[in-house]
């Protein structure tokens, strides 16, 4: 059946309407639409959003298929309401050539649970010394537009300058993982009262802020576009706010976990809370929420970082950094931004679909829910509350900080170009 | 803290005083011709050392053997750990062998906490030093030494350290000894002052229950005890201080500085001492320096901790659950003090 009628859905949180999908596109949006010849999905007041777009996902393939694969990662994405993800370049081998980015791109096309747009490395092997073939990756079938050494910082100012300048030739953007390496040697968690007490190496806020300050000035100097990955401190927010007020072309992202969790949780020494950048303080969390609400921070990105159980079921220092996020992101955003009154559902659509698609130039995604647009859609039961049970995750890894935690909201349906990838909470 | 000893911060004032009082009784055993009690006969204790520490391991081993426990020493070097085995796997192997307690030294802060709270093993866990986090038995032996010297061996029983002023000098940032001592000495009522260059004090130290100073000379006349911390020479290369000479000049304890202390005040050091940099030979060898006494007291403290966690009817800590009850009928358990059998 090529027609689907979504009946009584609150489009972007507005009044209930019907949405008719015909083939790969939205055919009609209105009230009292005919269901003739269509499969009917009774939305019953659920919120309909454009399919979510994640600008920061680790799919681990090639190289760490024990953590995640393109297939399992895109299934996790569909479960979380995503129709497109940008796959970070820190794979094995590193996605620093046209060959590797095309491999990831083709795997995404084959599996079909969501579109996969590879991110190319800025430097060869993420080593920070020589620029990777940015142009070749852009010209490849994958059409790379976002470049990042994420996991590592491009800390050499000259290399960063050259990268920013070079991608101007084809409208690319450099996404910086802001972490001054010398200031974070041996760092294990946010530097502050808790790290001092626990005897864990401190990760100072200034290690992030100093790099962001440098990079926005570089972007201004060369007239290029820079994107800052996973902001985690109140100071970073202030720098981005200042840069934007100055007209610098900077965009920024925040992860769901940095909107909710604080470094107090590290007192448990449970490595499920070990993440890069580290969980910060309550003050930082509040600043990040405000910045996402007022648009200083442009988007929510998951930094979905799957790790196998054994990489987390160990002592803190030995544990890998990162947490999975695709399947809980929307719930955390509802809890921290919507239920607190900071953002309405139109705002969520903006921060989790429209703007990430714009930054990454993901054509076909982040489009309005209106006639003629691609039917990339997500239906959310916002009244739902339930405990997170990672046993039900589609991701190959279970390293979530929310196990057993009650969170609101549940994605019940995801459509990718009119095809249900998640139907009634089940992957197709 | 329940049935483990992970952090000095987990001890209440009464817990700590009970351990110190019990250690006084244990110390008497050391004065006997046969330094042995039957208290932990049939119990197995593993010394699980992932990090080199001959002094602490020998101290625990002596304490365990004096209590008649069966002792297994496990060092990471040359073991399955060096072949890549995880802490969890190692712990579960030991658990399968039926150990009653694990004394763990680990380079990673929080490793003993994970061992005790992750469900990997059921044995009691005693932290013998983890990363830059805690070293609770060191703090207890320091408190024991302080109480003996400042309050008196016999008159100290039941007493805490209320009103005593202790100055801790040196690399606080990297020191589990400093963290443990600040927690425990505060619990016992002492006033603690940390003295170090700002580079060797952690961010957030102002929230600790102690005073902080960068000036050793002004602090000394107000001190009942000065506790010198070990300073690793490699810190100099990481720019924590400019040169050894400058460190010694500003924060080293020499004869002139010792003379500024009140007459009754003592000098402490957890060892090993770096003579000439943090402490001069003149001070280290003076009768005011308790470094050697601290080593002896360490055995008594560790006997007390092991006894109270594993063998004592009287719990060492709030809600303690002496695991002996799982193995022995009540009438076969140790009496209130562990000395009855030998003294009969």
- DSSP assignment string, A25-77: EEEEEESS---TTSEEEE-TTPEEEEPEEEEEE---TTT-TTT--HHHHHHHH
Region B50-62 average pLDDT:
91
In whole angstroms, give the CA distance from residue A348 to residue A51. 11
CATH code assigned at A383 = 2.30.40.10
Interface contact A314-B86, CB threshold 8 A = yes
What per-residue confidence (pLDDT) applies to B338? 41
Chain B's closest residue to A186, CA to CA, is: B108
Burial class (CB in 10 A: 0-12, 13-18, 19+), A264: middle
pLDDT at B62 over 50: yes
Same domain for A41 and A11? yes
pLDDT, tens only, A167-212:
999 999 999 999 999 999 999 999 999 999 999 999 999 999 999 9
């990831």: which residue's tokens?
A104
Rg (CA), chain B: 20
* Greatest mean pLDDT range, A366-375, B198-207, B237-246, B316-325: A366-375
A18 a catalytic residue? no
pLDDT at position A289 is 98
* Tokens (6 digits) for A239: 């720098």
DSSP 8-state symbol, A210: H
pLDDT in tens, B150-186: 988 778 899 999 999 999 999 999 999 999 999 999 9
Exposed, middle or buried, B25 (CB in 10 Å: 0-12/13-18/19+)?
A: middle
* Domain assignment of residue A233, yes or no: yes
Same domain, A143 and A285: yes
Does any domain span residue A41?
Answer: yes
In a domain, A366, yes or no: no
A149 near A175, Cβ under 8 Å?
no
* B113 interface with A at CB cutoff 8 Å: yes
A190 Cβ under 8 Å from any chain B Cβ: no
Neighbours of A244 (CB within 10 A): 17
Does residue B295 surpass a pLDDT of 90?
Answer: yes
Confidence of residue B323 (pLDDT cuts 50, 70, 90): very low
ipTM: 0.82
- At residue B236, the pLDDT reads 73
Contacts of A318 in chain B (CB under 8 A): 86-87, 108
CA dihedral A255, A261, A263, A265 (to 10 degrees): -140
Domain membership flag for residue A365:
no
- The confidence score (pLDDT) of residue A307 equals 98
Provide the CATH number for the domain around residue A193: 3.20.20.140
Among A360, A394, A419, where does a domain finish? A360
Residue-level pLDDT at B139: 98
Please report the sign of the dihedral spanned by the C-alpha atoms of residue A136, residue A178, residue A203, residue B240.
positive
Long-range contacts of A109-112 (CB under 8 A, 24+ apart): A111/A70, A111/A71, A111/A74, A111/A75, A112/A74, A112/A416, A112/A419, A112/A421
CB neighbour class for A14 (10 Å; exposed up to 12, middle 13-18, buried from 19): middle
> Residue A130: inside a domain, yes or no?
yes
Using alpha carbons, select from B168, B198, B189, B184 the residue that is nearest to residue B134.
Answer: B184
Task: Tell me the pLDDT band of B304, cut-offs 50, 70 and 90.
Answer: very high
pLDDT band at B333 (very low <50, low <70, confident <90, very high): very low
Query: Are B203 and A310 within 8 A, CB to CB?
Result: no
Q: Which band of pLDDT confidence, cut at 50, 70 and 90, is reported for residue B325?
A: very low
Residue of A nearest to B203 (CA): A192
Among A92-96, B27-31, B148-152, B233-237, which is the least confidently predicted range? Answer: B233-237
Q: Considering the domain boundaries, does residue A323 fall inside one?
A: yes
- Which pair of structure tokens corresponds to residue A307? 């790790």
Question: Does A314 contact B88 at a Cβ distance shorter than 8 Å?
Answer: yes
> What percent of chain B has pLDDT above 70?
87
Q: Is the domain of A111 the same as that of A221?
A: yes
- The range of the structural domain enclosing residue A416 comes to 3-47+373-427
Q: Report the alpha-carbon angle A421-A426-A428, nearest 5.
A: 40
Judge whether A74 and A323 are in contact, CB under 8 Å: no
| Neighbour order of strands in the sheet with A82-87 | A52-57, A82-87, A115-118
| A299 and A393 belong to one structural domain | no
Nearest CA-CA distance, residue B111 and chain A, Å? 5
Could you tell me if residue A232 is inside a domain? Answer: yes
According to the model, what pLDDT value does residue B342 have? 38
Mean pLDDT of the region B188-195: 98
Residue A367 counted as domain residue:
no
Q: Extract the residue ranges of chain A whose pLDDT is less than 70.
A: 1
What pLDDT is recorded for position A360?
A: 98
The pTM (predicted TM-score) of the whole model is 0.89
Residue B314 reports pLDDT greater than 80 = no
Are residues A7 and A81 part of one domain?
no
Residues present in chain B in total: 344
3-state helix, strand, coil in chain A (%, to 5): 35, 25, 40
Same domain, A73 and A38: no
Please give the pLDDT value at position B79.
63
B56 marked as part of a ligand binding site: yes
Q: Count of residues for chain A?
A: 428
Tokens 């810190």 sit on residue = B235
**How many contacts (CB atoms, under 8 Å) link A and B?**
77
Our CA angle for B99, B105, B109, nearest 5°, is 120
Report the pLDDT value the prediction gives residue B317, as an integer from 0 to 100: 38
Specify which residues A39 forms β-bridges with.
Answer: A4
Q: Does B186 touch chain A (CB under 8 A)?
A: no
CB proximity under 8 Å: B 79-98 to A: 86-88
B221-233 mean pLDDT? 92
Which of helix, strand or coil describes residue A394?
A: coil
Residues of A in contact with B204 (CB under 8 A): 191-197
How does residue B316 score in pLDDT terms, banded at 50, 70 and 90? Answer: very low
- Looking at residue A299, what DSSP letter applies? E
Task: Rounding to the nearest 10 degrees, give the CA dihedral for residues A41, A42, A48, A51.
Answer: -20
Q: B267: which residues sit within 8 A by CB, 6+ positions away? A: B225, B226, B228, B253, B258, B261, B279, B283, B286, B288, B289, B290
- Label residue B322 by pLDDT band (50, 70, 90): very low
User: Quick check: A305 and A323 in contact, CB under 8 A?
Assistant: yes
Task: List the beta bridge partners of residue B112.
Answer: none
Which residues in chain B are contacts of A310 at CB distance < 8 A?
Answer: 86
String of DSSP letters for B285-315: TSTTB-HHHHHHHHHHHHHHHHIIIII-SS-
Within 8 A of A195 by CB-CB distance, chain B residues are: 202-204
From residue B44, give the alpha-carbon distance in Å to each of A136, B2, B65, B302. 64, 20, 10, 15
Total domains present in chain A: 2
Q: Are residues A418 and A340 in the same domain?
A: no
Cβ distance of A317 and B131 shorter than 8 Å: yes
User: For the residues of A236-265, what is the DSSP string, one character each?
Assistant: HHHHHHHHHHTT--EEEEE-HHHHH--GGG
Based on the domain organization, do A225 and A321 belong to the same domain?
yes
- Largest CA-CA distance found in chain B, in angstroms, rounded: 63
Question: Does A198 contact B at CB distance below 8 Å?
Answer: yes
Strands (E), chain B: 44-49, 70-75, 101-106, 124-130, 165-169, 191-195, 211-213, 225-228, 266-268
- Tokens of residue A272, six digits: 């499920």
The partner residues of A15 in beta bridges, in order of sequence, read none
Average pLDDT on B242-255 reads: 92
- The answer, for A50 touching chain B at a CB cutoff of 8 Å, is no
B75 is in an annotated binding site: no
Average pLDDT value for chain B: 87
Q: Do A194 and B204 touch (CB under 8 A)?
A: yes
Domain end residue (candidates: A360, A390, A408): A360
- The catalytic residue among A18, A96, A298, A303 is A303
Domain check: are A268 and A386 in the same one? no
Identify whether the C-beta of residue B62 lies closer than 8 Å to the C-beta of residue B27.
Answer: no
| C-alpha separations of B137 from A206, A273, B300 in Å | 36, 29, 10
Domain boundary among A306, A332, A360: A360
Q: In the structure, what pLDDT confidence band is assigned to residue B318 with cuts at 50, 70 and 90?
A: very low
Residues B121, B147 contacting (CB under 8 angstroms) = no
Position of tokens 């990672």?
A: A390
Tell me how close the Cα of A201 comes to any Cα of chain B, in angstroms: 9
Taking the C-alpha atoms of residue A72 and residue A395, their distance in angstroms, rounded to an integer, is 5
Q: Which of B94, B5, B90 is nearest to B45 (CA)?
A: B94
Distance CA B20, CA B304 (A): 8
C-alpha A332/C-alpha A254 separation (Å) is 12
Give residue B78's pLDDT band: very low, low, confident or very high (50, 70, 90).
low
pLDDT, residue B83, reads: 60
What structural domains does chain B harbor?
A: 4-134+295-311 (3.40.50.1370), 136-290 (3.40.50.1370)
Q: Say if residues A104 and A91 touch (Cβ distance below 8 Å).
A: yes
Whether residues A19 and A69 fall in one domain: no
Same-domain pairing of A28 and A77: no
Q: Are the CB atoms for A356 and A302 separated by under 8 Å?
A: no
Indicate whether A129 and A194 sit together in one domain.
Answer: yes
Q: What is the mean pLDDT of residues B26-34?
A: 89
Give yes or no for residue B233 having a pLDDT over 80. Answer: no
């Amino acid at each position: 059946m090529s027609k689907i009628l979504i009946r009584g859905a609150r489009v972007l949180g507005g009044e209930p309407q019907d949405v008719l999908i015909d083939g790969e596109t939205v055919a009609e949006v209105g009230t009292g639409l005919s269901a003739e010849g269509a499969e009917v999905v009774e939305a019953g007041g659920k919120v309909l959003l454009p399919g979510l777009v994640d600008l920061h996902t680790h799919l681990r393939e090639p190289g760490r298929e024990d953590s995640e694969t393109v297939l399992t990662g895109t299934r996790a994405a569909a479960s979380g309401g995503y129709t497109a993800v940008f796959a970070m370049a820190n794979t094995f081998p590193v996605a620093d050539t046209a060959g590797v980015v095309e491999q990831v791109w083709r795997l995404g096309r084959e599996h079909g649970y969501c579109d996969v747009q590879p991110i190319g490395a800025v430097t060869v092997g993420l080593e920070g010394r020589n620029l990777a073939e940015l142009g070749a990756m852009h010209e490849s079938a994958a059409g790379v537009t976002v470049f990042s050494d994420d996991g590592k910082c491009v800390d050499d100012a000259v290399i960063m300058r050259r990268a920013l300048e070079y991608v101007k030739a084809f409208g690319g953007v450099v996404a910086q993982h802001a972490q001054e390496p010398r200031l974070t040697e041996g760092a294990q968690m946010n530097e502050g009262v808790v790290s001092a007490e626990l005897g864990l190496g401190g990760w100072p806020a200034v290690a992030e802020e100093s790099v962001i300050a440098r990079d926005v000035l570089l972007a201004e100097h060369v007239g290029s576009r820079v994107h800052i990955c996973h902001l985690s401190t109140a100071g970073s927010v202030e720098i981005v706010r200042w840069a934007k007020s100055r007209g610098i072309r900077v965009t920024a992202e925040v992860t769901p976990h940095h909107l909710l969790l604080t470094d107090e949780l590290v007192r448990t020494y449970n490595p499920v809370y070990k993440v890069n950048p580290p969980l910060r303080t309550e003050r930082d969390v509040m600043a990040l929420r405000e910045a996402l609400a007022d648009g200083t921070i442009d988007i929510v990105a998951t930094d979905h970082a799957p790790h196998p159980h054994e990489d987390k079921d160990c002592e803190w220092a030995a544990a890998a950094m990162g947490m999975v996020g695709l399947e809980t992101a929307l719930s955390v955003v509802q809890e921290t931004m919507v239920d607190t009154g900071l953002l309405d559902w139109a705002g969520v659509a903006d921060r989790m679909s429209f703007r990430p698609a714009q930054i990454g130039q993901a054509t076909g995604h982040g489009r309005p829910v209106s006639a003629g647009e691609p039917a990339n859609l997500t239906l959310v039961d916002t009244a739902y509350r339930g405990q997170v049970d990672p046993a039900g995750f589609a991701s190959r890894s279970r390293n979530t900080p929310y196990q057993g935690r009650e969170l609101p909201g549940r994605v019940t349906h995801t459509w990718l170009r009119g095809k249900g990838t998640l139907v009634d909470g089940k992957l197709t | 803290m329940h049935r483990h000893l992970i952090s000095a911060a987990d001890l209440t004032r009464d817990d700590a005083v009970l351990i110190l009082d019990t250690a006084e009784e244990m110390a008497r055993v050391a004065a006997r011709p046969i330094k042995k009690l039957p208290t932990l006969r049939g119990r197995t204790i593993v010394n699980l050392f992932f990090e080199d520490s001959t002094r602490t391991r020998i101290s625990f081993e002596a304490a365990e053997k004096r209590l008649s426990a069966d002792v297994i020493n496990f060092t990471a070097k040359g073991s399955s750990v060096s072949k890549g085995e995880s802490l969890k796997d190692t712990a579960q192997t030991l658990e399968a062998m039926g150990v009653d307690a694990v004394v763990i030294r680990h380079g990673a802060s929080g490793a003993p906490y994970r061992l005790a709270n992750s469900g990997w093993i059921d044995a009691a866990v005693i932290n013998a030093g983890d990363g830059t986090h805690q070293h609770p038995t060191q703090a207890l032996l320091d408190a024991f030494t302080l109480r003996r010297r400042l309050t008196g061996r016999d008159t100290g029983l039941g007493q805490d350290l209320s009103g005593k002023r202790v100055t801790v000098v040196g690399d606080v940032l990297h020191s589990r000894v400093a963290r443990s001592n600040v927690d425990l000495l505060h619990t016992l009522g002492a006033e603690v002052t940390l003295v170090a260059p700002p580079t060797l004090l952690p961010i957030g130290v102002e929230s600790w229950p102690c005073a902080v100073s960068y000036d050793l000379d002004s602090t000394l006349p107000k001190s009942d005890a000065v506790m010198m911390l070990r300073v690793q020479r490699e810190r100099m290369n990481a720019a924590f201080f400019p040169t050894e000479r400058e460190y010694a000049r500003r924060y080293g304890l020499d004869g002139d500085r010792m003379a500024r202390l009140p007459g009754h005040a003592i000098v402490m050091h957890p060892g090993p001492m770096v003579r000439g940099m943090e402490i001069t030979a003149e001070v280290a060898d003076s009768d005011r320096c308790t470094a050697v006494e601290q080593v002896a007291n360490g055995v008594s403290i560790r006997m007390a901790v092991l006894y109270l966690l594993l063998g004592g009817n009287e719990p060492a800590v709030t809600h303690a659950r002496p695991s002996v009850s799982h193995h022995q009928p009540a009438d076969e358990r140790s009496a209130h003090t562990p000395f009855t059998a030998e003294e009969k």
